[in-house]
Amino acid sequence: MTRPSRRSLQAAGLPLALLASLAGTLPAMAQNTPGGGVPSPFLSPPALPSTLPGGIPVPVLPPAVQQDIMQRILDAAGTGAVGGLPGGAVAHPLPAVPPARPLAPPAMAAPAEQPLSHTETFYAARLDTVLRQFGYDTFQTAPGTTPAPATMGLLPDDYVLGRDDEVAIAIRGRTRQSVTLRVNRDGTLLLPDLPPFIAAGRSLGALRADIEARVAQELGGSEAYVSVGQVRQVGVLVAGEVMRPGMQSVPALASVLDALMLAGGVRKTGSLRAIRVEGPRGRRVIDLYSVIAGEAGDPDLMLREGERVVVPPLGATVAVAGEVTRPGIYELPAGVAQVPLATLLRLAGQPLRPAGNRFLLQGTDAGG
């Protein structure tokens, strides 16, 4: 049975003064109870007064409402359940409310399983096991987040300055001044009391040596300290088999990995071993297995202004299954049709047993 609220009791015509009168009868009920405890289920409480202070007659309430009123008063006084009601009605004990359980922390949703690519489906149908293409989870990020290129520390002396780079110059000695300048559109830096310095296209080390020599010559007794503050942003085109092809704005010190991360990563239809970087200095091919799998090689990952990154389609692949450390589908180097077994086992993390292994080779003939 639903208990009426305090507002509903007033709407039914029961003044608050009646509640105070009923509350005054509780000590007497407790004294009539053996031990002053909970009254017997068959002991009737005292009758309600016929009039309220001031001679106002008590409104007649339904038995169910009277029962609820008495139960609420007894609950507030801590005397227990009501045994009887006026008019011979027998009150039934209300069901106990179970204690509230503490709310458990919300369970973290498991990451959604990535659907199989065409390559993974091809091998799963022949090996009766599901293998994943190696290396592509390197570029996965949390949903709804955009990765940012890693911030760089100390710039090397061979860093090539460009337009909009910020250069901080501090002069100490007989002349004391600190200025922060941006490389102008014409590629120069304008210092007070000194001729312009050509900065764009020069290395940081060469510009530092030039400024130090000029300050020592023209501002005798002073020394110059040169550093780079904010690094300029450059636009790099990322094309081919990536999630979001197009122009990406990256710092001038960003790497090929930064550009690929901003483009959403490489699709499983794209190659990780034949990524092309093309620009004014020519073309170079990058094998990312040397970065993510420890294969031999020292790729030049640094991006220069005006370069673009192109991810070609996936090359030849092999699958390594069974008792190896890292079963998976691996891409062969660019232009290579076959590799030794030892190379594949190295990619897969070597067999779990050092000896006693049996290797089974499955392939296709000239007819497919």
**pLDDT score of 38:** 46
Whole-angstrom CA distances from 356 to 323, 325, 327, 340, 352 are 11, 16, 18, 19, 10
Residue 361 token pair: 């080779």
DSSP conformational letter for 252: T
Q: Tell me the pLDDT tens digit for each residue of 286-336.
A: 999 998 888 877 888 988 888 999 999 999 999 999 999 999 999 999 888
Look at residue 7 in the predicted model and tell me its pLDDT.
46
Question: CA-CA distances (angstroms) from residue 305 to 137, 207, 249, 302, 326?
Answer: 28, 19, 11, 10, 38
**Two tokens, residue 12:** 């039914």
Asked whether 262 and 250 are in contact (CB, 8 A), the reply is yes
Contacts of 103 (CB under 8 A, 6+ apart): none
Q: What is the distance between the alpha carbons of residues 37 and 134, in angstroms, rounded to a whole number?
A: 75
CATH superfamily of 166-228: wza like domain (3.30.1950.10)
Distances 68 to 80, 82, 322 between C-alpha atoms, Å: 13, 9, 72
Average pLDDT, whole number, for the chain? 78
Q: Which residues of the chain have pLDDT under 70?
A: 1-60, 77-112, 141-153
Domain 138-148+233-311 has CATH 3.10.560.10: yes
Which pLDDT score, from 0 to 100, does residue 285 have? 94
Between vectors from CA 350 to CA 347 and to CA 355, what angle results, nearest 5°? 155
Give the pLDDT score at 350: 92
Give the per-residue pLDDT at 8: 43
* 3-state secondary structure (DSSP) of residue 319: strand
Long-range contacts of 150-159 (CB under 8 A, 24+ apart): 150/258, 152/231, 152/251, 152/253, 155/204, 155/227, 155/228, 155/231, 155/253, 156/204, 157/203, 157/204, 157/205, 157/208, 158/203, 158/204, 158/205, 159/203, 159/204, 159/228, 159/252, 159/253
Is residue 163 a contact partner of residue 187, using CB atoms and an 8 Å limit?
yes
CA-angle at 279, arms to 276 and 284, nearest 5°: 35
Q: What is the DSSP letter of 36?
A: G
Q: Where are the domains of the chain?
A: 6-77, 138-148+233-311, 166-228
286 three-class SS: strand
Cβ neighbours of residue 194 closer than 8 Å, sequence gap 6 or more? 214, 215, 218, 219
- Tens of pLDDT, residue by residue over 28-66, are 444 444 444 444 444 455 565 666 666 666 666 777 777
Q: What pLDDT does 101 receive?
A: 61
